[in-house]
Structure 1
Amino acid sequence: MNRESNTGCFVYIIGAAGKGGYRTYVGWTNDLEKRLAAHNAGTGARSTRGREWRLLYAERFDDRPSAMSREWHLKRDRNFRKRLFTEWDE
């Protein structure tokens, strides 16, 4: 049995505040803690290097196709990501 079937998959949104304002990144993973640590260590996705990231949102799914579908939708929903930063500031 593979690990994915035991733990599921996560879709997540991370955010970072900087000189140029807020940035968000949407992704999916089998291990949320390890993936966030990789982003903050500079070994995650190239677009996330050099920033201090914070987990803004996460959802768990039973399978990879469902997680990837949700990731696709979240990447296109800028208003949702913008609301997450509004809540972060409060």
Structure 2
Amino acid sequence: MVTPRSRGSTSSGLVDRLDAAGHVTRHRESTDRRRVTLRTTEAAQQANAAFLGFAGREIAGSLRAAPPEETRAALAFLDRMTAAATTANARLARRARTGG
């Protein structure tokens, strides 16, 4: 189970790794030292654009090759997953408001 405390340290670890890899930089733009703005680096933006350009072509080719019934089934599945996640988020938000 992820507790609020472990969530913070997990997020911190992730940001530390992204920073160390040169993907993001931290900026403190507020007098509140706890508040940090993350910005992607130019190198990360270029790598992302290159990947998305390549992946976009690959994905488009796969979509063109997929039979319509397969595409409909995949979309129906994703719709169900989106509805389930939306329901779960709403339930969590209610729980947070009511404290239960």
TM-score in terms of structure 1 length: 0.21
Normalized per residue, which structure has more helix? 2
Bigger radius of gyration: 2
TM-score in terms of structure 2 length: 0.19
The structure, 1 or 2, with the larger RCO (C-alpha pairs under 8 Å, 6+ apart) is 1
